[in-house]
A and B are shown apart, each in its own frame.
Chain A
Amino acid sequence: MHPVRKKRLLVITVLVLILSAVVGLVMYALQQNINLFFSPSQIVMGEAPRNTNIRAGGMVVKGSVTRHSDTLAVAFDVTDFQHKVTIEYRGILPDLFREGQGIVALGRLNEEGVFEATEVLAKHDEKYMPPEVSEALKNAQSSMDENHASTQSTY
């Protein structure tokens, strides 16, 4: 083969090898590490998968935070003002975690429908609302309005 062509072939072979390895790696890693978001309503309706890493979020229900007396275990409810889901967490909550505040938790839904969180995120700006949470609240609000409208129309 012509030396220039031979070299090009070499470069292309190396490129193809590297790229296919990377694409494989990326596909695999993406499949393992995508965390879908579910609102409390979706979770209560049974739309969320069990024992898979997902994210859940909403407003922390006032007065729902209960702490274990000896350990760092804590449980609280989050709501989209339609349904509530209980989240359990063991560890230190972020500074901006407060009742009435929007949060997002990462973890798994167990068989009892309790969300076991491995990470709880509250954003570093008190004005900031996680977009997922604000959208979930909006959806819940609009479905509430629809229900309301339909009940009215039956009268």
Chain B
Amino acid sequence: MFPEIGQFSLILSLFFALSLAFLPLIGYRKGNRFLLQSAQPLTFIMSALVLVSFVILSASFLMDDFSVLYVSQNSNSQLPVWYKFSALWGGHEGSLLLWVLVLSGWCSAVAIKVRTLPEDVGPVVLSVLGMICVGFLSFLLFTSSPFARLLPDVPADGGDLNPLLQDFGLIVHPPVLYMGYVGFSVAFAFAVAALITGNLNASWARWVRPWTAAAWAFLTLGITLGSWWAYYELGWGGWWFWDPVENASFMPWLAGTALLHSLAVTEKRGVFKSWTVLLAIFTFSLSLLGAFLVRSGVLTSVHSFAADPTRGMFILALLVVFVGGSLLLYAIRAAEVRSSVSFGATGREAWLLLNNILLTVLTLTVLLGTLYPLIFDALGLGKISVGAPYFNSVFTPIALLLIVFMAVGPLSKWHHTPFNVIFKVCSVAAVVAVLSAGLVVYCYEFGFTVWLSLAVAFWGVCLSFTDWFGKVSAGAKGIIPRARQLPRNYYGMLLAHLGMVVTLVGIVLVSVNSQESMLRLSPGDRARVAGYEFHFDQMEQVKGPNYVASKGQFTAYYANKVVAVLHPEKRFFTTRQQVMTEAALDAGFTRDLYVSLGERLDDSAWGVRIYVKSFVRWIWLGGLMMMAGGLLAALDKRYRKRTRG
């Protein structure tokens, strides 16, 4: 009975989404206030209906209602209760429902804030969001309903959740990632609304900035969580694989970062207007492309859902409609939003333009690497994969260049900055960076690339602090009052830029300073890795709620002192007959100890991975800093001013 209500509620919400997509727009054309004002209540009703069906599906999971096909495929009565809840987004149908829920949540958030927008802009924005909802709701209803039943042959128990997904990481990673992905549809809706109404001024950029910053912060956190989860859960200690699906989330992030920066210029200086609109369209399109890559199964990836051509076709159609439609609108209307203000070659605009060029180039290189196998296959040239070395060798130099300029941008002033001022500050920072990086490289005997990367990192830190110090020490008041006066937006930027540097240091050191060994060990054996001595103490059998496991005990010594006792496991999940590696970690600020079990080789010997990962936590620490920076920027007081009573 309840699943039918869930299904019905989804159908109803599709009707409300349809009305939302059309009525306010008609109201805008006809100048009908009633229709315009219907946007807000329509959004709320649509979102509430989606929430109802989400709650019903969660209830079906929690109550083990295996008459629902999706529940029986992804859950099991033995599953711990929190995994029963998160199993909701463990498969295609449920994760799409989560996607729609997040989308309607963003719509409601915009609807709540709609009063701060001019009377004719807000409803148009909601209307565009309504169109996106129509797209995803019909995708959900027509190709992948999560409420399909298995009647009358109700299975006694479910097929269980993929063991890989029975983990804390899966509880948080998808919702946060979707918050980011889907959040960019708000920026998209604003961009399309600007094209429709022709209203694209500084206040437009001021409305979009906090939404974009918030979506960006969520996406940053989502990617960071995903990387951390892959590191400890996949059992081989990698934190980024350039897997198509990772790239699918990374491309909108790169484009979104560019958007965030070009919005700043559009707000402050009124330039780059049409470029900003185009970027907002691209960012959203890349989110859709990501959804297509993940759910159509066209690319080989660890994340692929079971491939289904109709679903792929449906998203492809959505992609064509949204991207094609918005680009067409752009082609017709962009001339009206062209900016006419000029800017100097050394002003902050120029640095931000450079930032945008580099970020766009990065996005395109990742896009090319991701889609190349598809192009190659379509041309009949054979089945290929593009290896991680492609991405590393292309991405690294451009990203380093980007970080170099990232540090300079904030120092410059809008419109025009005397070149010698920048040169003076930068030359000091350059000397400090080169020498201190040289010192580190000399002491630890690293190579040229490490020196270069560390120099860039130190340069970034030096210039960020120089900039902050310059801002707080100018003027008559003391440093602390002035530091308090600086806007949150500025601190957000500072934090995000420093986060970038921290991540850079993490990436560099983990790739050159880590020691990884794969060994054949039996209980009682010892191994030496990067100065640590690992003793394989024993092996025992343990029983979990829905698995049995072989659990090893390793003691790590450093200078004959016990540093950590590690318990890696090899779990056998009984329902799915599937084996899972559970790595054991001793996390530290400058190093992680990582032990995971491979296969059992004979009666006592095991294949064992022992890694000492240098500075690996910094990668995610930097991600968290960037996220916090994005949130700070989104919460800046300036954005909360009301334009209308």
Q: Does A25 contact B (CB under 8 A)?
A: yes
Q: Are B384 and A127 in contact (CB under 8 A)?
A: no
B300 cross-chain contacts in A, Cβ below 8 A: 104, 130-132
Is B383's CB under 8 angstroms from A92's CB? no
B residues 294-309 near A (Cβ < 8 Å) are: 297, 300, 302, 304, 306
CB-defined A-B contacts under 8 Å, sample of 29: A7-B342, A7-B344, A14-B354, A14-B357, A18-B361, A22-B361, A22-B365, A22-B398, A25-B393, A25-B397, A25-B398, A30-B368, A30-B390, A32-B390, A34-B387, A35-B385, A36-B384, A53-B387, A71-B520, A91-B607, A92-B518, A92-B599, A92-B609, A95-B578, A95-B580, A124-B162, A125-B162, A126-B577, A132-B383
List chain A positions with a Cβ less than 8 A from chain B.
4, 7, 10-11, 14-15, 18-19, 22, 25-26, 28-30, 32-37, 53, 55, 67, 69-72, 91-93, 95-97, 104, 106, 123-128, 130-132, 135
How many A-B contacts if CB must be within 8 Å?
Answer: 117
Contact B358 A18 (CB under 8 A): yes
Which residues from chain B contact A32 at a C-beta distance below 8 Å?
Answer: 389-390, 393
In the complex, which of the residues A18, A30, A123, A125 contacts B386, with contact meaning CB atoms closer than 8 Å?
Answer: A30
Q: How far is A7 from B357 in the complex, measured between Cα atoms in Å?
A: 16
Q: Which residues of A contact B357 (CB under 8 A)?
A: 14-15, 18
Looking across the interface, which residue of chain A has its beta carbon closest to that of B361?
A: A22
User: Does B235 reach chain A (CB closer than 8 Å)?
Assistant: yes
Q: How far is the CB of B129 from chain A (nearest CB, A)?
A: 34
B579→A33 contact, CB < 8 A: no
Chain B proximity of A15: nearest CB distance (Å): 7
Closest to A35 in B: B385
Given contacts A11-B353, A18-B358, A93-B598, A135 and B383 within 8 Å (CB-CB): yes
**Interface check B601, CB cutoff 8 A:** yes
Interfacial chain B residues near A37, Cβ < 8 Å: 382-385
Q: In the complex, what residue of chain B is closest to A39 when comparing beta carbons? A: B383
Do A35 and B394 form a contact, CB below 8 Å, given A10-B345, A126-B576, A127-B306? no
Report which of A11, A33, A67, A130 forms a contact with B387, defined as CB distance below 8 A.
A33
Contacts of A70 in B (CB 8 A): 520
Expressed in whole angstroms, the minimum distance between the Cβ of A77 and any Cβ of chain B is: 18
Chain B interface (Cβ within 8 Å of chain A)? 162, 164, 234-236, 297, 300, 302, 304, 306, 342, 344-345, 353-354, 357-358, 361, 365, 368-369, 372, 376, 382-390, 393-394, 397-398, 518-520, 576-581, 598-599, 601-602, 607, 609
CB distance from B19 to the nearest CB of A (A): 40
**Chain A residue at minimum C-beta to C-beta distance from B365:** A26
What residues on A are CB-neighbors of B342 within 8 Å?
A: 4, 7
A25-B397, A33-B390 as given contacts; A123 in contact with B382, CB under 8 Å: no
Going nearest first, the 9 A-B pairs with the smallest beta carbon separation are A92-B598, A33-B390, A37-B383, A33-B387, A92-B607, A29-B393, A29-B390, A33-B389, A95-B579
Q: Are B520 and A72 in contact (CB under 8 A)?
A: yes
Q: Shortest distance in angstroms between B162's beta carbon and chain A's nearest beta carbon?
A: 7
Choose among B368, B520, B576 the residue with the greatest number of A CB atoms under 10 Å from its CB.
B520
Contacts of B599 in A (CB 8 A): 92-93, 97
Cβ of A11: which chain B residues have Cβ within 8 Å of it? Answer: 353
CB distance from B242 to the nearest CB of A (A): 10
Alpha-carbon separation in the docked complex, A127 to B577 (Å): 12
Q: Tell me the complex Cα distance, A135–B388, Å.
A: 24
Report if A128-B306 is in contact (Cβ < 8 Å); known contacts: A11-B353, A92-B518, A92-B598.
yes
User: Given the interface contacts A26-B368, A95-B579, does A36 sit within 8 Å of B382 by beta carbon?
Assistant: yes
CA distance A77 to B369 in the complex (A): 31
Is there an interface contact between B578 and A126, defined as CB atoms closer than 8 Å? Answer: yes
Chain A residues lying within 8 Å of B578, measured Cβ to Cβ, are: 95-96, 126
Which of B387, B393, B609 is close to A35, meaning CB atoms less than 8 Å apart?
B387
CA distance A104 to B297 in the complex (A): 17
Query: Smallest CB–CB gap between B303 and chain A, Å?
Result: 8
With a CB–CB cut-off of 8 A, which chain B residues contact A130?
300
Q: Which residues of A contact B361 (CB under 8 A)?
A: 18-19, 22
> Which residue on A lies nearest to B344, using beta carbons?
A7
Q: Name the residue of chain A whose CB is nearest to the CB of B362.
A: A22
Q: Does B394 lie within 8 Å of A29, measured CB to CB?
A: yes
Which of these, A4, A22, A30, A95, contacts B372 with CB under 8 Å?
Answer: A30
Give CA–CA (A53, B353) in the complex, Å: 39
For the complex formed, measure the closest distance between the CB of A136 and the CB atoms of chain B, giving whole angstroms: 9
**Contact (A67, B601) CB under 8 Å given A96-B579, A126-B576, A132-B383:** yes
Most central of A18, A22, A92, A97 by chain B CB within 10 Å: A92
B632 CB → nearest A CB, Å: 31
Give the CA-CA distance A53 to B385 in the complex, in Å: 11
If the complex has contacts A34-B386, A95-B579, are A124 and B164 also in contact, measured as CB distance less than 8 A?
A: yes
Smallest CB gap from B343: residue in A: A7
For residue B581, which residues in chain A have a CB less than 8 angstroms away from its CB? 95
Are the CB atoms of B520 and A34 closer together than 8 Å? Answer: no
Asked if A95 and B384 sit within 8 Å, CB to CB, the answer is no
Cβ contact within 8 Å between B235 and A95? yes
Query: In the complex, what residues of B have CB within 8 A of residue A128's CB?
Result: 304, 306
Separation in Å of the A86 CB from the closest CB of chain B? 19
Q: Once the chains are docked, how many angstroms separate the CA of A10 from the CA of B353?
A: 12
B605 to A: closest C-beta gap in Å = 9
Known: A29-B390, A125-B162, A131-B300. A34 touches B384 (CB 8 A): yes
Closest to B608 in A: A92
